[in-house]
Amino acid sequence: MPSKTTAKKKKDAPAPFLAVGDNVDAKCGKCKDVTKHIVLAKIGWKPTRVECCVCSATHEFKPPRPASRRRVAPAPELSPEEEWKFRMKAAKEAAKPYDRERAYAVGEVIAHQKFGDGAVISRASETVCEVVFETGTVKLIMATRATRRSR
Ligand SMILES: [Zn+2]
């Protein structure tokens, strides 16, 4: 009777045996990276406390799995050129010469000496607007709303 020679391979193979004092890769919260650690304590095969070889911090063992990859997928991206065409078509007014002394709202179109006509796509900050030109997106300085509002 043939004996079963092919042992069933379990999918969740046990982690390599680690003894206290062994090196193990783990995530270090202080280094904010996966670094070499020394096993200080363990339960079964699982390390519980480890010491970081880089910063010497001792902490719970965290497997060196990369942090959950959160997909930050914005809406389907348009190339700058497509965005520019779309924005220029959507513009209600003719482009006005770029004037850093005034504030721009998203959707306004401006005529820039160097870049040509462009449309404001976002306000990066109080004093910076992002403008898409045919050649790409450019950040331009603008006046704050507050400046305009003060009378
Ligand atoms: Zn560390």
- 46 CA → ligand 1 middle, Å: 19
- 64 CA → ligand 1 middle, Å: 13
Structural domain boundaries in the chain: 23-60, 80-149
- 68 CA → ligand 1 middle, Å: 20
pTM value > 0.85: no
The model's pLDDT over 112-141, given as tens digits with 9 standing for 90+, comes to 999 999 999 999 998 999 999 999 899 999
The token pair at 38 is: 């020394």
- 39 CA → ligand 1 middle, Å: 13
HSE-up of 63 (CA within 13 Å, CB side)?
A: 7
What does the radius of gyration of the chain's CA atoms come to, in whole angstroms?
A: 29
The model's pLDDT over 91-119, given as tens digits with 9 standing for 90+, comes to 888 899 999 999 999 999 999 999 999 99
- 67 CA → ligand 1 middle, Å: 16
- 12 CA → ligand 1 middle, Å: 28
- 54 CA → ligand 1 middle, Å: 5
Q: Which whole-number Å values give the CA distances from 115 to 26, 53, 129, 131, 132, in the listed order?
A: 50, 52, 15, 10, 9
Q: How far apart are CA 123 and CA 130, in angstroms?
A: 6
- 66 CA → ligand 1 middle, Å: 16
Closest CA to 24 of 38, 6, 11: 38
pLDDT band at 52 (very low <50, low <70, confident <90, very high): very high
Q: How far apart are CA 115 and CA 110, in angstroms?
A: 10
